[in-house]
Amino acid sequence: MQDIQEEPEEKAEAAVIQKNRYNDTALPMPSADAIPDEYADRIQDLFDTWHAVKARNANLTSYYEMEVMTDDLGVSIPPQLTNINTVTGWAKKAVDVRAVRSNFDGFVFEGRNDKDLDDLVKQNGLKGKYSMACRSMLIHGLSTMTVMRGTKRQPAAKVRTFSANQSCVLWDKDEEDIACGIVLAAVDKNGHATKYVCHFPDAVITFESVGGDWTTDIDPNPLGVPLMVALRHDPDIDKPLGHSIITPELKGIVDKAMRDVLRMEVGAEFFTAPQRYILGAAEDLFSGDDEEGESGDGDGPRKPDTDAAKFKAYIGAYLALTRDESGEIPTVGQFPAGDADNFIKVFENDAQRFSGASNVPIGQLGVLSNNYTSSDALGAANDPLILDVQTINRNNERAMERVGELMMAISRGKKLEDLDEHERSITVSFTDPAQPTLSARADAWTKLAAVDPSLVGTRVWYEGMGFSQATIDRIMAEGDRKTVIGELAKIAESAGIGATDGQEPSEPVEPEESLFGD
């Protein structure tokens, strides 16, 4: 009895864990009495839009997470084989190859860094959060970031990221920015929303469910813009909130590739155990003894046919066939198995179609049908993908600049219009999506230095070499330290203090009284 009772509890626990995911969450609207009248229409529009795209976003998520079932056409696949795992992760590959090349590297100001903002970037782990937001943006076409004042244990300006499953925004075409937005801030163990945060230009409204009753908390927003930023993939005039990289074409190719993998499995089964036939065989050939005992001795009823008996007859019974009553020998034959090359060619064609539609090099899809003759040919295969990532970075540049502006304004207690000239000069640094090797970068920038020697040792020089902003800061600080030490050494040498020729003194040298005295 104990084992019987434990199983439902384990299943219930697994169900709770599954429901606790934020991409599969019930989104009940707060009660009408909890919503302020002046925001009721816009909040209603937000929830209507959110529910309208929920199924579409869930479908895109299932393709990325490889949870889509094989769409069987019901023609050639035996029912026994339809539950085989034929997962094809090309949709995930189309997203990840872009996300790993789009890397946020920090903020710069007219070639210089702002230490306070750099500290906030580090405290928020903003580089990692951008990677997550970029990946979600590619899946659904949209992801969002919010910037709010942190609590005592949080940074002064706290950045949070949300996918399209967890947030919704309304677009203001005149302002070319978010008009308002809502995020899912918390869920319970059963997957029901328990907290929403709505962002408006003049207020931040928090709805929280306590014992089934909704409470409302309204905080004024002095910045005059929603504390929410949208990262959009491939926006256009008709769809300013972007498009998913997982297009209907890519989904169709993935569906076909999964069926082709299943057909390959079926073909392999028939190749391993090809179909055979026997002409003129005895009637009881496939009703012999099996693993459980004799099928019958003639005195009683014959035992029904079993799979074990049929398989034994298949692999060896025909070797002992004898002539029938007419003296004829049964004829044994075998149907030819399908050629595996045909299945491979079809699957390679699927990969070629997917590569052409997604700009993912075919070699990264697990199909090595192309042999690149040189490194230039291999690089050319990545060029369309690199150009695509450069466009992604260009679209995200302004969004990340707004994130930086909000971080500075909130942490310094300013309005956006009160930011000074230095703060307004904020720009975003992304690493090179081509990701060349250090030797290739060094060769290119050495040639540039030959034309303009003043580049050597500057921040631009080190950025071009591919160093991160943190590494560049350390290099510049080390250079400044050596410069100061060098100047002090010159002063000491001119005063006759210390060792010369770059050698350390063997003993501390006392300063001359005439030099440091009154």
- The answer to whether position 191 is within a domain reads no
Residue 451 placed within a domain = no
Report d(CA 473, CA 479) in Å as an integer.
Answer: 10
Where does the pLDDT of residue 284 fall: very low under 50, low under 70, confident under 90, or very high at 90 and above?
A: low
Q: Strands (DSSP E) along 139-244, which ranges?
A: 142-149, 157-163, 167-172, 177-187, 193-199, 203-210, 213-220, 228-232
pLDDT band at 367 (very low <50, low <70, confident <90, very high): confident
CA distances from 401 to 106, 146, 170, 433 (A): 10, 13, 20, 19
Residue 32 lies in a domain: no
- Specify the 3-state DSSP secondary structure of 205: strand
Across 128-146, average pLDDT: 97
Q: Is residue 505 part of a domain?
A: no
Which tokens sit at 375? 């490194």
State the sign of the Cα–Cα–Cα–Cα dihedral 83, 85, 86, 88: positive
Tallying the residues shown for the chain, one arrives at 518
pLDDT tens digits for 181-232? 999 999 888 778 899 999 999 999 999 998 889 999 999 999 999 999 999 9
**pLDDT value for 181:** 97
291 part of a folded domain = yes
Residue 251 has pLDDT above 80, yes or no: yes
The model's pTM is 0.76
Instruction: Determine the residue type at 155.
Output: P
Report long-range pairs for 84-87 (Cβ below 8 Å, ≥24 apart): 84/262, 84/265, 86/258, 86/259, 86/261, 86/262, 86/265, 87/258
Q: Which residue has the higher pLDDT, 143 or 262?
A: 143
Residue 13 pLDDT class (50, 70, 90 cuts) = very low
What residues make up the domain containing 280? 276-334
Reading phi first (left if > 0) and then psi (alpha if -120 to 50, else beta), residue 211 is in left
The number of C-alpha atoms within 13 Å of 328 and in the hemisphere containing its C-beta is 9
Tens-digit pLDDT profile for residues 152-191 = 889 999 999 999 999 999 999 998 999 999 999 998 887 7
Q: Looking at the predicted structure, is the pLDDT value of residue 378 above 70? A: no
Q: What distance in Å separates the CA atoms of residue 22 and residue 192, rounded to the nearest whole number?
A: 9
Structural domain total, the chain: 1
Q: What is the pLDDT of residue 503?
A: 52
Mean pLDDT of the chain: 80
The residue with greater pLDDT, 85 or 133, is 133
